Structure 1
Amino acid sequence: MKKQLTILEIAKIANVGKSTVSRFLNGGYVSQENAEKIDKVIKEYNYKPNVFARGIKAKNNRFIGIVVPCLDSFVTSQILMQLDNSLRKSGYVPLIMNTDHNFDLELESLDDLIRLRVEGIIFFSTIITKKHREFFEKNTTPFLIIGQKYKGVTYITNDDFSAGKRIGEYVGELGHHNVLYLGVSEDDESVGIIRKNGVIEGLKNYGCEKIDYLETDFSMEKAEENVEKYLVKNKPSCIICATDNIAFGAMKAIKKRGLSVPKDISVCGFGGYKISEMLTPPLTTIRFDYKETGNLATDTIIKLINQDEILQEKFVKFDFIKGETVKKLK
C-alpha cells in the first residue's frame, strides 16, 4: 500500500514546482507536459487531495460556518438538522462549531471561521455583547444571526412579542389575574425582554395587573428550584414560563408541593417540544416553526453571499397549542 503524498512530495517526484501542483489541483493553468507528469504521480500513488484544505484557500470554497451555543437544546437541534440538510442540498458544506455557552469560545470560533475563509457565517445567538458588536463591525464576511436582533446585521428571530401576547391574552381570557411570569435574564433580549413584554401586554388587555416576575435560567432544574421557593409564600393561579423546559421544572415543583396542574395552578410555556404533547396533561404552549427557520436561514445566507437585496429582519411564524394545563376560572 503506497503512502499518501504531500503536495511537496508530488512536486519532487514529478520534477515540477509546488505551485504548479497546487494550480493543477485547484483547476488553474498548467502546461500539458507538466499536467501529464503530475497526473501520472497522482494515479501511481493513489493520491486523494484534502478537499477541506483546498477549499478553505479558495475564494469560493462552499463552506458555511455555523456557531451554536449547545447541541443538546431541542430548539437548536431542530433548526440545525433542517439547516444542515438544506445547505447540503444547495451545494454548501456546513462547519458546525459548538461553544457550550462559553462566550469566549464563541468569539474564538467566529474568529476561526474568518481565518478559514468560509463564504458565510450563521450565528445562533443568545446575547449580543460589546465584543460581538466589535466583531460584526470589523469583518465583511456575509453574516446571519439567528435568535437575536442586531442593527446592521441580517437576522432571523421568532415573533416573540406576538407569541407572548397570544399566551397572555389566552391566560387573561380564562380569568387569571394572579400570574407569575417565570423568565430569563434580560441579557437575552428576545426571550428575556421582548417575549416577556408581549405576555404583559396580552394580560393587561384582559385587566390582569397583578403580575409577579421571577428570573431563572434555561434549565429545568433551576426553574424547579426557584418555583419551589416561590410557592412557600405565594400561590399564583397561573405560571407563564419563558420556555417549555422551564415549564417542566415549574410543574415538577408544583407537584412536590402537593399541588396539581391545572387544578391548583395553571402552567404554560413557549417552544412546542414534542415531549410537551406527551405530558399528562399536555402542556399549553407556543410552537415556533423550526423547519421554516432552517430553510429561511439557508435561503438568506446564500442571498447574502450572492449580494442579493434582502430584508434585514425576518420573523418566524408560530402556532398556539391549546393543551390542557391552563384552567378556566369562574
Structure 2
Amino acid sequence: MAKRIDFYTISLHNGEQAVNYPIRDFLETIGNRMGDATVVREIGEKWIRAFPYSYSSSRQQFVIPFGKLKDKNKPYWLNDENHLEEIPASLYDINSLGFDQEYNVMVFTTNREGPSVRDVEDYLNTFIPSHTGLFVRIDPIRYNTGIEKVRNAELVKKVTLYLDLGRSLNDFYLNELEYNTPRPLAEAFRAFTEAAKDTGDSKVLSLTLGLGKNGKREDTLNLESLLYLLEHINIGAEFVKEIEVNYKEGREDKIDKAKLKESNLLLSYPCSGVGSQVSPEDLLNNINNAVADKVMIITRHNREYFANMQQYNANGFNIVETWNSIE
C-alpha cells in the first residue's frame, strides 16, 4: 500500500475556480519559515508540521515532508542507565508531497499513519489570511481505466451505449464540443438519442456502432473519433446506464470487453526505494519518472481543470505566522 504515490492537482482557489497565483510561490514562502515554530500547527486535534524541502538538480521538482506528531504508543529505548523509557524526542509519522513545476502536478505518498491529503490541505490553509478570499484546494486526478484500455487497443470492433431515456439529456456532454474539431460521430449519437427520446416508447435505448456483418478480421472503428466521443460523453450521468467497448489489444489477441461506467481510479505510480515506505528521498528520485509515465493523463486532466482560471490581481500576500506551538 505504502509503496506507491498518488497524483493530485494543487492550486489556490477563489470559490469554485482556480486562480493564477503560483502555488509554488506560496509553498516556498512557507518553506522559508522552516527555522521557527510557525510551521507547527494543530489540525483537527493532531499536531502537523512541515520539514525542510528538498529539490531536484533542475529545481523543477521539490518535495515537502509533512509529519504528524506521534503522541501515543511512542516506542521505547534503553537510556544511559540501561532502563527502558519512551524516546524523549518528538517523533513523527511522515507523508511527503512532491510538486512538478513543468506539468503543474502534485504527487503524495501513502503512509496510512502519516498526515492525510486533507490534513495537508487544512494545514496549508492556516497560512492564508482570511481577507484574501483564497484557499488551497487539492483534488485527486482520476482516470477512466476502460477508456485507457480503448486508447491502448490496436483494434476496436464495437461500442454499445445503454441509455436511460427517462433521464434528462441536458448534460449529455461534459462540456461544449471543441470548435474546429471534426465531430460527426459525437453529433450523430446526440441527434439519434434525442430523436429516440422524443419519438420512441421504450425507456431504455441500446445504441451500437460496429463494423457490420461484412467487417473483416483486421478492420477497426476509427479510434480517434471514438475516443473523442467517449471523452466528451458525461459517463457519470444518470442517463448513461453503461458503455461497453469490444476491443483487441493486439491483432492476434482475443476480443476483450471494457465497461466504462464504474471504472474511474485514482492515478498512481508504483514507487521504488529502500524500506516499507516511500521516503522523501525516494519520492524525489522517482517523481520525474512518475510524471513522465503518466504525462498524457496529467496533461488532459489539467487542460480541463484549469480551463477557466481566474486572474489574481493583488501583489501576493503575507502568510499567517501567529499560531499555537507544541513548545
TM class by shorter-chain length? under 0.3
Q: Which structure has the larger Rg?
A: 1
Normalised by the length of structure 2, the TM-score is: 0.25
Structure with the higher helix share, 1 or 2: 1
Higher relative contact order (CA 8 A, sep 6+): 2
